[in-house]
Chain A
Amino acid sequence: MTADAETKQNEAEEPEHVEARVSEGPRISMIWLVPIVAVLIGLWMVYTHWAGQGPLVEITFENAAGIEPDRTKIRRRNVEIGEVLRVRLSEDASHVVLDVRIQQENADLLREDTSFWVVRPRVGPGGISGLGTLLSGSYIEMSPGASEESAREFEGLETPPLTPIGTPGLFVTLDSVGNKALQAGDPILFNGLQVGTIEYVHFNSQERRTYYNAFVEAPYDRLITTTTQFWFSAGLNIELSADGVLFEVPPLTTLVGGGVSFDVPVGQPLGERIKGRAFFTIHPRESSIYERDYEQSLQYVILFEDSIRGLRPGAPVEFRGVRVGEVLRTDIDYEEVGNLLDADSMIPVLVELVPARFGFEDDERAAMEAEAQIDDLITRGLHGGIGMGNLLTGRKFVELQYFEHEPHPEETFAGITVIPSVGGQVGRLMDSVADTVERLNELPLDEMTTSALNALDQITATLAEMEVLLTDEATQNIVQSLDDTLLQFQGLAEDFSEGSQTHEDIQRTMRSLEQTLLELEPVLRNLRQRPNSLIFGGPDDEDPEPQGARE
């Protein structure tokens, strides 16, 4: 029997009091599982969201023009890889800080050298860019870095980088002096083809020299060698010098803007390829790359009495036709000059002579040796004069000449050794004219004139005598006789010419003579064999006669 049956039996037996028995049920209801699971799911979703939203990075810019939180996107090659979450000022309010969320799958692109810049409409030397953002709004472009170190804080670029990081090629540093300059973005040309770009421009105020960071793209970077020379190729270059008119027209791409070209000068070896960062000086023009830079030079002053019009700094100094230096100064800003109105005032021209151009080595010892020789030459007659370099431009040059008969004592001007001057070409021409006039004056013109007149009288008398002689009847008869004789000689020549009767007769006579000689041959032969036949006669044999055919 079961308990229920017993209970039912007991209840049937004792129906009035049934004592309830309390049994312990489950303390937590199963219904609580639902919120628990919901919480877990929520936590899992939060985790997955947190884990999948990617890293949060900070990018600083000078300003936040065109950037809006939750709208401005981060892009790489026009693919969205993140979003600007927040825009705030830095603590010192000197710049803005962007909190940017980068997608997890692109987190590996965040390296130390990763760069960000704002893409917005820009007008630059390279043209107009970012027009597409006029309607879509600005966005931030990312250029992934190549560093192995990852980073989460970045300094944004105010302008887009001209060469994306990681682009194969070669960075070089160029420098220049003078009034020519380049801007970032100007092209680097090789034979007119753009092979690189000026990336960054820096002017060193202490050195008064401009430095450029330039990038030459691969494979053109292998053109940069140890003998490569750079020169400005911007704009038209018209130069008037003692050598004439130099007119250089650059490629069209750099005619309006700027640019720099490079190449190995003709005649020089190609050199070895440069693989690391190298430094080059930009020459003002292509022709300058053929001019060597000499370290040693000597300065002299030439004092001129004549005008130095047309002589400019940079004009060549030549010795025996070879360029040995150049003019440095033509001004009169010396204490020793005084004023030009003084009758004895001289105009100083400071020249620089390069010992290496005379054939010396380019070192101090050779320079001292050259200086000693030049000083010695000055005392023995070396002079400087002004020559006409180019009639078209009127530019002149300094010409060193050696006059052995005009020695000169050593002299200095403002502490610089003086090379004595001679008159220029015009002056020398005037000297020659004066010398010629003087020689003409010394000529015995009176005696010569008298002699010439006497000679003319004699010639006149001789001509008169000849006229009498020619008009004389006897002379004319002689001429007539000569004429007749020539005519007769001409007729005689015609008589004996080929085809004439006389010529034919002579021919016939000659043939008869030849025939006779032929007939004499057997007679002479017979006499040689039998000399007595002349007296006794020879055997008169019968000739062999042709015989008729016998039938």
Chain B
Amino acid sequence: MSRARVLFIGLTLVSLTACGSSEVVDDHYYSLVLAAGVPADDVEDVAAHLVVGPIELPRYLSGRGLSMQVGPNRIESASHHFWAEPLDEAIAKVLARDIDERTDGIEVERESGRWTGDAECRVRIEFDAFHPTYQSQVLVSGRYWIVSGDANERRDFSLSRRLTTDGYANAVDELRDALQALADQIAGDIRSAPTCGDDAAASVAADQT
């Protein structure tokens, strides 16, 4: 191969590389679990077990990229803003921790956690929305079922938080805040459940006395 041919091919590749170069946008990762902070030490007598899960998400929330509602009926998935872990696992972890902190005598685990026995209660959650919107707010809505013994009770929830600053980081914080409100609602319903509510905890306490 002559030197002239080698030089021609090299210049061509350099030219093509120059055409393909563009400005690089950084990727960002967000974690709901980190946003929830460090869990407090919780030593308590266990009267019942509660399993949180499965968490069912709509298809557009199953990807790693954060989704945003950009119109009345239009959703876009971000190309540079990602969840640091699968969203359903993150929501299960955060909700399990929040509910555990709000209930006495009940050990709360997410599904597929370390506890594998038969739970007295289970909370199954189905989300319709878990995203920021073009109207400067985040939406968290759906329904959950509390399965306690033979009872299977359904509750709907629809929470929204107003965004005060721009960016996904603030939106994730607001989503985390909405999850806390959802945990409050679920914990309230758990306390009146027949097999893992306050009556069950009271009977355990009486036995220990």
A residues lining the B interface (CB < 8 Å): 499, 504, 507, 511, 514-515, 518-519, 521-522, 535-537, 539-550
Contact = CB atoms under 8 A, between A and B. Distances in A.
Given A515-B63, A519-B64, A543 B79 contact: yes
Contact of A536 (B20, B116, B162, B171): B20
A537 B134 CA distance: 29
Interface stretch (B44-52, B70-78, B176-184, B196-204): B70-78
A547 to B, nearest CB: 5
Interface string B118-141: 000000000000001110111000
B20 A548 contact: no
B77 A549 contact: no
B168 interface: yes
Contacts of A522: 77, 79
Contacts of A542: 25, 80
Contacts of B132: 546
Given A535-B16, A547-B136, A548-B170, 5 more contacts: A521-B63, A542-B25, A546-B168, A548-B164, A549-B164
Contacts of B77: 522
B63 A540 contact: no
B149 interface: no
Lowest 5 A-B CB distances belong to which pairs? A546-B132, A549-B136, A543-B78, A536-B20, A548-B165
B36 interface: no
Contacts of B70: 544
Contacts of A541: 79
A545 B25 contact: no
Contacts of B163: 546-549
Nearest to B65: A519
Nearest to A548: B165
Contacts of B23: 540
Contacts of A547: 134, 136, 163, 166
B24 interface: yes
B21 interface: yes
Given A518-B62, A547-B166, A537 B22 contact: yes
Given A535-B16, A537-B21, A518 B112 contact: no
Given A544-B68, A544-B70, A515 B86 contact: yes
Contacts, number: 79
Interface of B: 16, 19-25, 62-65, 68, 70, 76-81, 86, 112, 116, 132-134, 136-138, 162-168, 170-171
Nearest to B16: A535
Contacts of A539: 22
Contacts of B86: 511, 515
A504 B76 CA distance: 32
Most B C-beta atoms less than 10 A away, residue of A521, A542, A548: A548
Contacts of B68: 543-546
B62 to A, nearest CB: 6
8 contacts: A511-B86, A515-B63, A518-B64, A522-B77, A539-B22, A545-B166, A545-B167, A548-B166
Nearest to B162: A549
Most B C-beta atoms less than 10 A away, residue of A515, A544, A545: A545
Contacts of B79: 522, 540-541, 543
A499 B114 CA distance: 10
A45 B137 CA distance: 146
B141 to A, nearest CB: 17
A496 to B, nearest CB: 15
Contacts of A549: 136-137, 162-164
Most B C-beta atoms less than 10 A away, residue of A499, A539, A544: A544
A531 to B, nearest CB: 13
Contacts of A499: 116
B80 to A, nearest CB: 5
A544 B132 CA distance: 11
A518 B167 contact: no
Contact of B25 (A514, A521, A540): A540
A89 to B, nearest CB: 112
A535 B21 CA distance: 10
Contacts of B65: 519
A479 B132 CA distance: 66
Contacts of B116: 499
A521 B64 CA distance: 12
A550 B23 CA distance: 30
B136 A548 contact: yes
A545 B78 CA distance: 8
Given A519-B63, A522-B79, A545 B22 contact: no
A540 B24 contact: yes
A524 to B, nearest CB: 13
B22 A507 contact: no
Contacts of A504: 112
A203 B24 CA distance: 140
A546 B171 contact: yes
A546 B136 contact: yes
A517 to B, nearest CB: 10
Nearest to B21: A537
Most A C-beta atoms less than 10 A away, residue of B20, B132, B134: B20
Contacts of B62: 514-515, 518
A270 B74 CA distance: 92
A549 B116 CA distance: 45
Given A504-B112, A511-B86, A548-B166, A543 B63 contact: no
A507 B167 contact: no
Contacts of B170: 546, 548
A542 to B, nearest CB: 7
B166 A546 contact: yes
A548 B164 CA distance: 4
B90 to A, nearest CB: 13
A537 B25 contact: no
Nearest to B20: A536
A545 B23 CA distance: 19
A537 B162 CA distance: 37
Most B C-beta atoms less than 10 A away, residue of A536, A542, A546, A547: A546
Contacts of B168: 545-546
B59 to A, nearest CB: 9
B166 A536 contact: no
A511 B62 CA distance: 10
Contacts of A521: 63
Contacts of B22: 537, 539-540
A543 B171 CA distance: 14
A548 B132 CA distance: 10
